[in-house]
Structures are given as structure tokens and as C-alpha cells.
Amino acid sequence: MIQAQIIYDDVRELPNAFTFLQDAPPASGGVLSVFLDTSFRRVPGRDYLVFFRNSTRAVRTELAASESDQLKDFDLAVERAEEFVLHFAPRHPGLALYASVDPEYFVAVPLPGRPVQDVAWGQQPVLTPLIEMMDEYEHVAVALVDKREARLFMTYLGAIDLYESIESDSTGKHAAGDFPRRTRSTGIRGGRSTPGKAGMIAWSGMGQSRQRRRHEEFAMQHLRDVAQALMQMMHEQPFDRLLLAGTEEAVDMLRNNLPQPLKARFAESLPLPVTASESEVLTAALEASERREREAEVETIERLVERTGTGGAVLGLEETLNAVNDGRVDTLVMNSNLSGAVSMCGNCGRLTTSTSTCPSCGSEIEEVPDLRERLALDVLDQSGRIEIVEGPAADLLDSHDGLGAFVRY
Ligand SMILES: [Zn+2]
């Protein structure tokens, strides 16, 4: 049951907002779903408010024309949503809002990216834009290292957290147990030990190489420890990709010492110093993950096409609808701009491209207004996953109705 209206202000709450809306009992009357672009370029003239007003007016006109008995409910929901939008101070690129006549059914959540602006009124909340955002922003770990220090970050949904700072002290003697020292501080200490001057005494050459070796051993131990800390981090908060940055030598040493699970997640090295600011780390990490996400999407489509030949996947509207109807979908893959009409049987509930009667049981069919939304929710009901693609991957999928699925059997 909904206890009270929920207004999230942390973008990382998006999965909670999604689960909440998915599980919430349907609002009486209907739900107003609103997606607004509140990125900085839309803020000065409050374009999003103008869009909200124009769109709700358009939806109202449609409702009035269809002589819907929901007009009163709609007006109340709009009133409550507008009150919120009017006083809303944007801090994130997007906003999703859900309102109904029921004062307890009101959810607002900021979005990490700019959504396609939309206003919809229906029996169910529109959830695909939230799924798309969660799919787009994965957990990405970033490790900044040199031979003595490390800073480990986690980025998620356009936000960044410092997970751990590691500062290994090479000057003191260490018992096995307290090496290296871990801190939460990011302070950099001066006073690096420098090798002694060359040629002072006959022994100096050997002394230097011994010292250099000790430095290398120390650095190696430090980076092994960083790898351990990353493993620990992954157990606490699983991440999809690992980015490394810092001095080239340290990054190479760390890469060569990554345990297999981390090696598998390593995406690329970023040109950042170990002292980079959080916002620099976040910006570089977002750019790299977007690039990787687009590449991974293309690979997904290639795999989809390949597996279709062996029965492990289906492509195109017709085949995908069949797989969804049979509950066979493991991962649904669809273009972010997927649209189009499809029907649902009023009797057996099967989705079909037929425009007359249900090909399965011959009963009356009704049109499904939002194909994307309908498919996504059906697949989630089957405990399937959703992968929404754009860019080059979407171009590849276009020739297959922008739709396909990896199937369980
Ligand atoms: Zn039927």
C-alpha cells in the first residue's frame, strides 16, 4: 500500500522508485506519467514547464473528445503535478513524475539523463523510460593509481562516490598485518624518498639497484593490495565495468595483477592523474561508459542475429511477440524509439499483429496503445531482462522491426 507521496531527490533512488511503481496497486481512476527534460539548457526559460502545460492540455482535449468519465480525475492529477513542477528546482538532467486523483499516489524522481519529454494518461504508470535509464547507466568502478596511492570510485546513475583511498607507506617497517595503511582521506603527502647520489662510493651502484628493487617490490605489493580492495568493493557492490587511471607504469602493473573477475570487467584506461577531482573522474567515466555501452549494444545485436540461426534467439515483431506470449524471453532487445501498433486478445491475452481476431483462440482483440511499454512489462513479469539500444545498434535492429529477444528455449 502507498503510505504517502514519495519525492526522491537522489538520482540513485531510481531503482527504488521503479520497484515501488511496479509493485504499487493501480491508482483509482488513472495515472498521469510525466517525463521532463530539466537539463541546464532547458532551465532558464523553464521550457519543461511550458511543455508540461501544452502536453497536458493536448491530452485533456483528447480525453474530452472521447467523452471519457476520467476528465475530473485527470484534472486533479494534473493540478497536483503542476504544483510540483512549478516549485521544482532542477538539479538533474531529467524528472519523472507520477500523479493520480489519489493524494497518496504521487511519485517524483530525478533522472540521470535527459528523457524524451512525454505526458501520458492511462491505467498504469509508464515505466519504460525508467528501465531505459537504468539500462544505460551501469555501475562502473574507477581506480586511480600510482605506485604508492590509490583512489577507488564507484559511479552509478550519473553520480560518483569515493569508495576508498589507499596510501601505502614505503618508509616504515611493517608487520604483515598492517600493510598497507588505508585511509579515507585523499591528502597527498610530500617527501618521497629519493635514490642516493650516484658514484659516491663503490657500493652505491649495488645500493641503488637494491633500493630500486625494493621500490618495485613495494609498488607491486601496493598494487596487489589495490586489486584486493577492488575485489572487496565488487563483492559489496557488483559493478559492470572497471576503468583504470593514473601513472602508466602503475596502471600496467595493476592490470597484470587483476584477478580474473576484474580482468573480465576491465574496459579501458583513462588519461587522468591519481589526483584528479571527483567531477573530472565522473565526466571521463561517463564518456567512457557511454562509448562502451554503444559498442556492447552492437555486439548484442550481432549475437542476436547469430543465435537466431540456431534457435537461441528471435528477431522481428511477429517472432518476438510469439516468444513473449509463450513466456520464453530471457532478454528482450528493442530500439529506444520502438513504436507501432499491436493488438491483445481480450480472452487469452496473447499479443498479436492480427487486426481482426485472435489467431490463437479466435476471440475479439483490442489495440495496445504503447507497444514498448507493454512488451517491457510482460518480459519483466517473466523475470526476463530488458536491453534498450540506440545509435548504431538501433540501426542494425531497424531491419528487424527494431525488436528481438534471446529466448530460453
Ligand atoms: Zn486469444
State residue 4's pLDDT score. Answer: 57
| Digit-coded pLDDT (tens) for 192-232 | 333 344 444 445 555 778 888 888 899 999 999 999 999 99
Helix (H) or strand (E) holding 110: strand 106-111
**Whole-prediction pTM value?**
0.78
Residue stretches of the chain with pLDDT short of 50: 1-3, 172-202
**Checking phi first, is residue 236 left (phi over 0); if not, alpha (psi -120 to 50) or beta?**
alpha
Query: How far does residue 242's CA lie from ligand 1's centre (Å)?
Result: 47
Output 180-188 pairs: Cβ under 8 A, ≥24 positions apart: 180/221, 180/222, 180/225, 182/229, 186/151, 186/162, 188/149, 188/275
Burial class (CB in 10 A: 0-12, 13-18, 19+), 179: middle
CB atoms within 10 A of CB 227: 21
Predicted local confidence at residue 9, as pLDDT:
86
Residue 308 identity: T
Calculate how far, in angstroms, residue 352's C-alpha sits from the geometric centre of ligand 1: 9
Q: 368 CA distance to ligand 1 centroid (A)? A: 14
- Mean residue pLDDT of the chain comes to 87
Q: How far is the CA of 353 from the centre of ligand 1 (A)?
A: 12
DSSP of 117-168: PEEEEESS---HHHHHHHHHS--EEEEEE-SSEEEEEEEETTEEEEEEEEE-
Position 172 scores a pLDDT of 39
Structure confidence by residue, pLDDT tens digits, 249-271: 999 999 999 999 999 999 999 99
Cα-to-centroid distance, 138 and ligand 1 (Å): 38
- How many angstroms does the Cα of residue 377 sit away from the middle of ligand 1? 19
Q: Contact 305/279 with Cβ under 8 angstroms?
A: no
Give the 3-state secondary structure percentages of the chain, helix then strand then coil, rounded to 5: 40, 25, 35
Residue 340 is given by DSSP the state -
Give strand ranges (E) for 313-389: 313-315, 329-335, 342-345, 351-352, 365-368, 385-389
294 closest CA partner among 392, 388, 398, 402: 392
CA distance 370 to 361: 23
- Looking at residue 205, what is its pLDDT? 58
Span from the CA of 367 to the centroid of ligand 1 (angstroms): 13
Interval between CA 381 and ligand 1 midpoint (Å) = 19
Q: How far is the CA of 406 from the centre of ligand 1 (A)?
A: 24
Structural domains of the chain in order of their starting residue, each with its CATH number:
6-136 (3.30.960.10), 140-188+197-276 (3.30.420.60), 296-407 (3.30.1330.30)
In the reported structure, the alpha carbon of residue 14 is separated from the centroid of ligand 1 by a whole-number distance in angstroms of: 36
How far apart, in whole angstroms, are the C-alpha atoms of residue 13 and residue 370?
26
Ligand 1 centroid, distance to 148 Cα (angstroms): 67
| Block residue for cell numbers 532547458 | 42
**Cell (9 digits) for 288:** 567512457
Q: What angle do CA 67, 73, 74 make, to 5 degrees?
A: 75
What is the whole-number distance in angstroms between the Cα of residue 345 and the centre of ligand 1? 5
Question: Are the CB atoms for 99 and 7 separated by under 8 Å?
Answer: no
**CA 348 to ligand 1 centroid distance, Å:** 4
Please answer whether residues 345 and 307 qualify as being in contact, where contact means their C-beta atoms are separated by less than 8 angstroms.
no
